[in-house]
Amino acid sequence: MRFGVISTAKIAREDVIPGIQKSDHTVAAISSRSRDRASEVAETLGIDSAFGDYETMFAEADIDAVYNPLPNALHAEWSQRAADHGLDVLCEKPLTVDTAGAVDLFDYCAKQGVTLMEAFMYQFHPRTQRARDIVENELGEVHTVDASFKFALSDREDIRLDPKLAGGSLMDVGCYAVSAARGFLGEPDRAFAHSRDSRDSGVDTNLSGVLSYDDGRVASISCGFDGPRRESYRVEADGGWLEAKDCFGPDHDQSVSLTYSVDGREVTETFDPVDHYQLQVEAFADTIENGETPPIDQAETLGNMRVMDALARSADTGEPVDVAGPE
């Protein structure tokens, strides 16, 4: 598969493009609002073609699919424009600014006959898959999950602090914590959250929330742009517990571990370094080649967006919010 990349965002330059280039697929073109910037990145990363605007790349480049790492508020518009050219789309998380927008984008891409997948790379890491397997098959009934993703965002001009671009810690890193909790517990019934804007930026720079289930299970969610980096989840169950650190964005050359206890027996499993961006791209391309549903499908994306919507509404109103059912 030949990819075109829209924008020279850091995640594209440092993670996704190298991941594609490690696979059997290629990055054939890159575009930016600045032709000079696109050319500079293309030369550095060994990309054949560079374009000074996205639409020209869609029309003229020899590509099969587009990777979209634009700011959140631009995901839907430019994923649709790629679909207009018959290009499959791998779009960074969160797919859109809310659930309604995600529904519309999936519908649009389906009508255009192209595949759309939200890029949530951590789900392709073998540790994530092993953790879910242990929880499902060895720990017994899960009753509590705690998931957190925080880091220090020092640049006050960062686009993640811009409300017009759908910034905020929930959108940027809270989506990982929500995804982890749902991966272990399924879809919650209600959400309650409190947020803080420590930069007076117009977006949440810290958010803490609770996801509750009618049967009494509960998940705690936290995310933020202040303080030391923390990536973790812990699962408590009748038969034991499981926890992982550095669980969402380990480096490509980083070994990681998973610790769990079953009936009093504690085990630590170690995983060799892998590039989960490469694994994500390979899964996306295999889906298209085989005519299959993407591993991160519409139901998974919409489930995460519904919970994020509910957390955001609760933080705004100060009241618990029911999580909407499937569209």
- DSSP states along 137-186: HTS-SEEEEEEEEE-----TT-GGG-GGGT-SHIIIIIHHHHHHHHHHH-
Interstrand relation of 265-271 and 321-322 (parallel, antiparallel or unpaired): unpaired
| Segments of the chain assigned E as strands | 2-6, 26-31, 49-51, 65-68, 88-92, 116-119, 142-150, 190-196, 206-212, 218-224, 230-237, 240-245, 256-262, 265-271, 321-322
Question: Token match 């600014």: residue?
Answer: 97
Q: Is the pTM of this model over 0.95?
A: yes
Regarding whether 248 and 162 lie in a shared domain, the answer is yes
Q: What average pLDDT does this structure show over 262-290?
A: 97
> What average pLDDT does range 115-129 have in this prediction?
98
The CATH number given to whatever domain includes residue 302 is 3.30.360.10
**Count of beta carbons in the 10 Å neighbourhood of residue 1:** 20
For 237, the domain range is 122-322
Residues 136 and 202 occupy one common structural domain:
yes
- Together in a domain, 236 and 305: yes
**pLDDT tens-digit profile of 68-110?**
999 999 999 999 999 999 999 999 999 999 999 999 999 999 9
> Are both 95 and 143 inside the same structural domain?
no
Instruction: Decide if pLDDT at 177 tops 60.
Output: yes
Together in a domain, 95 and 128 = no
pLDDT at 324: 82
Question: Based on the domain organization, do 99 and 208 belong to the same domain?
Answer: no
Q: What percent of the chain has pLDDT over 90?
A: 97
pLDDT class of 326 with cuts at 50, 70, 90: low
Q: For residue 137, is pLDDT > 70?
A: yes
pLDDT for 122 beyond 70: yes
**Number of structural domains, the chain?**
2
Are 3 and 63 spatial neighbours (Cβ–Cβ below 8 Å)?
yes
254 shares a domain with 187: yes
Indicate whether 68 and 206 sit together in one domain.
Answer: no
One-letter amino acid of 188: P
Supply the mean pLDDT for the chain: 97
Residue type at position 269: E
Question: What average pLDDT score do residues 104-123 get?
Answer: 98
Q: Do 107 and 133 belong together in one domain?
A: no
For 309, the 3-state DSSP assignment is: helix
Give the end of a domain, one of 119, 141, 170.
119
Tell me if 213 sits within 8 A of 318, measured CB to CB.
Answer: no
Asked whether residue 62 is assigned to any structural domain, the reply reads yes
Do the domain assignments include residue 327?
no
| Amino acid, single-letter form, for residue 116 | L
Q: Are 90 and 27 in contact (CB under 8 A)?
A: no
Tokens found for residue 62: 């020899």
Which pLDDT value is given to residue 327?
A: 54
- Name 5's bridge partners: 30, 67
Q: If you write DSSP's letter for every residue of 270-306 in order, what string do you get?
A: EE----HHHHHHHHHHHHHHHT---SS-HHHHHHHHH
Phi, psi of 233 (to 5 degrees): -145, 150
Instruction: Tell which of 119, 151, 168 closes a domain.
Output: 119
Residue 283 clears pLDDT 70, i.e. is over it: yes
89, 119, 149 - which closes a domain = 119
Are residues 103 and 192 located together in one domain of the fold? no
